[in-house]
Amino acid sequence: MSERYARQVQFPGVGPAGQAQLSTARVLLVGCGALGTVLANLLVRAGVGRLTIADRDYVEPSNLQRQVLFDDDDAARGRPKALAAAEKLRRVNPEVQVEPLVLDVNPANVAALVAEATLVLDGTDNFETRYLLNDACVQRGVPWVYAAAVGAHGATLAIVPSETPCLRCLYPDPPPPGTLPTCETDGVLAPAVGVVANLAAAEALKLLVGARDRLRRALVWLDVWTNAFEQLPLAAPRPDCPCCGQRQFVFLDAPTTSYALALCGRNTVQVVVPDRPRIALAELAARLTAVGPVRCDDDLLRLQVEGYEITVFPDARALIKGTTDLARARALYSRYIGA
Amino acid sequence: MSIRVRIPTPLRGLTGGAAEVQVDGASVAEAISQLEARYPGIAQRLKDENGELRRFVNLYVNGEDVRFLQGLDTHLKAGDEVSIVPAVAGGA
């Protein structure tokens, strides 16, 4: 057994058998921000077989306070998070296959992504994606670990479909936008994120080495500033749960026409056009230089125009910074990138 | 009938910073009314316009989710502990 995992193998809960199981694990991490970078770091060092990192966003300076895989250079270049993370992680542990996906997880692609995974980890920052992951994981029978953090508090829960409550057993309906704190409204402390992500990773390790009897089976809610720590044991899945009880996967079946959504507490709108052929960014850049300053590389194009900053990815997804108005964002998209 | 209610961080602005308050009430609904009388505005963070428990806030009585009990009608006795646990969305 590789010397790399000696200390982990030495732990009786893992042992050589557990390590062998880890090496066959295919983990999907959705979101590679504060929670996701901590989760990715832990799982890659633990020696999973493959880690697929899906993140739609790019590194910014305000990330560096807590997003442990990114550095100053990544922020200066505005690198896509999935790519920057993968690069770091390959140097941490070349034995792990790290697969970065710069994309938006949505109803059109989530089922295929989850089908490839033995475990899904929540590094997202919004409930919309969490409900989607929950639907996909429950439908497929893949365990996933919910994790969330903002301000100085956070929560986490391991979800094993048909065995434990799912996300909708706990929260039947998505919270309306604007009802919960976001990192922009309430800030976020790195230690809070770190504790939550580490607790989530511990549950993940238990699932991956087959130690289901060790699962916490409780929602953890903690606050590192007020020193609160609640463990709320959860009963069995709810028979009337629309997702795991009645198997109505409404988030999975949502329409996949183009849509816009305002991002977690930021002055930015994301526009997604599913099923659009890949954009040749260099060609688009050439057209847009007439309009305003354009920066372009293989991963993204960035245009400054009308006081907005528009970032375009090869899959035609765009982040329009400087507005939270969805209609305005779509108009800008149409104007500069096309219908 | 003294009930201990634990107030999560996001709601402490309404309770003057208090993390735990004591109220009376024979049921969860009554306890919330008492909370509202003392800390105006807290009820609407817990209940929607129809008077139903908001779906993204969990209330626990002695560690049990009231949705698995009798919801707002869940009975309370002296010494019971009610925890308010709101959903957490952030993570970026």
Domains and CATH numbers, chain A: 3-233 (3.40.50.720), 259-336 (3.30.310)
CA A60 to chain centre: 16
Residue A75 is predicted with a pLDDT of 97
Active site residue A264: no
Q: How many CB pairs under 8 A join A and B?
A: 115
Burial of A291 by CB count in 10 Å (0-12 exposed, 13-18 middle, 19+ buried)?
Answer: middle
**Contact flag B8-A221 (C-beta cutoff 8 Å):** yes
| Residue A175: per-residue pLDDT | 72
Distance from CA of A31 to the nearest CA of B (A): 8
Each residue of B14-67: pLDDT tens digit?
898 898 999 999 999 999 999 999 999 899 889 888 888 887 888 989 878 888
Q: What pLDDT score was predicted for residue A109?
A: 93
Q: φ, ψ for residue A301 (rounded to 5)?
A: -120, 140
DSSP state letter for B53: B
Is A181's CB within 8 Å of B90's CB? yes
B1 Cα to chain A: minimum distance (Å): 24
Which backbone phi and psi does A14 adopt, to 5 degrees?
-105, -70
Q: Quote the CA–CA distance of A325 and A267 in Å, as a whole number.
A: 9
d(CA B89, CA A101): 23
Task: Report how many helices (DSSP H) and strands (DSSP E) chain B contains, helices first.
Answer: 2, 5
CA distance A123 to A55: 9
For each of the domains in chain B, give its residue range(s) and CATH number, in order of start. 3-86 (3.10.20.30)
Nearest CB neighbour to A180, from listed B9, B68, B89: B89
Of A152, A188, A232, the CB nearest to B60: A232
Contact between chains at A181 and B89 (C-beta distance less than 8 A)? yes
* Separation CA A37–CA B79 (nearest Å): 42
Residue pair B60/A194 in contact by the 8 Å Cβ criterion: no
What pLDDT was estimated at residue B92?
64
CB-based contact B56 A228, cutoff 8 Å: no
Cβ separation of A152 and B9 shorter than 8 Å?
A: yes
**Candidates A137, A183, A243, A264; catalytic one:** A183
Candidates A186, A126, A111; CA nearest to A150 is: A186
Shortest CA gap A292–chain B (Å): 30
The residue of B5, B12, B56, B82 whose CB has the most chain A CBs within 10 angstroms, and thus the best one to mutate to test that interface, is B56
Task: Give per-10-residue mean pLDDT for chain A (339 aa).
Answer: 91 98 98 97 98 93 96 96 98 98 90 97 89 97 96 95 94 70 77 98 98 95 89 84 95 72 80 76 86 92 93 90 84 75
Task: Give the gap in angstroms from C-alpha B39 to the nearest C-alpha of chain A.
Answer: 19
CB A52 within 8 A of CB A101: yes
**CA torsion angle for A45, A197, A39, A136 (degrees, to 10)?**
140
Among the partner-chain residues B19, B85, B91, the one whose CB lies closest to the CB of A31 is B91
Q: Does B55 touch chain A (CB under 8 A)?
A: yes
In B, minimum Cα distance to A187 occurs at B90
Pick from B55, B85, B88: CB nearest A173: B55
Return the structure tokens found at B87.
């959903």
Which residue out of A171, A188, A263 would a mutagenesis test of the B interface target, given it has the greatest number of B Cβ atoms within 10 Å?
A: A171
Collapsed DSSP state (helix, strand, coil) of residue B83: strand
Task: Kindly provide the ipTM of the predicted complex, given to two decimals.
Answer: 0.74
CB of B17 within 8 Å of a chain A CB? The answer is: no
Amino acid type, A216: R
Which chain A residues touch B86 with a CB distance below 8 Å?
180
Nearest to A219 by CA among A231, A201, A228, A227: A231
> What pLDDT does A178 receive?
56
Residue to test with chain A: of B4, B9, B59, B68, most A Cβ within 10 A: B9
Nearest CB to A230; choose among B55, B83, B87: B83
Per-residue confidence (pLDDT) for residue A232, from 0 to 100 = 82
Predicted TM-score (pTM) of the model is: 0.82
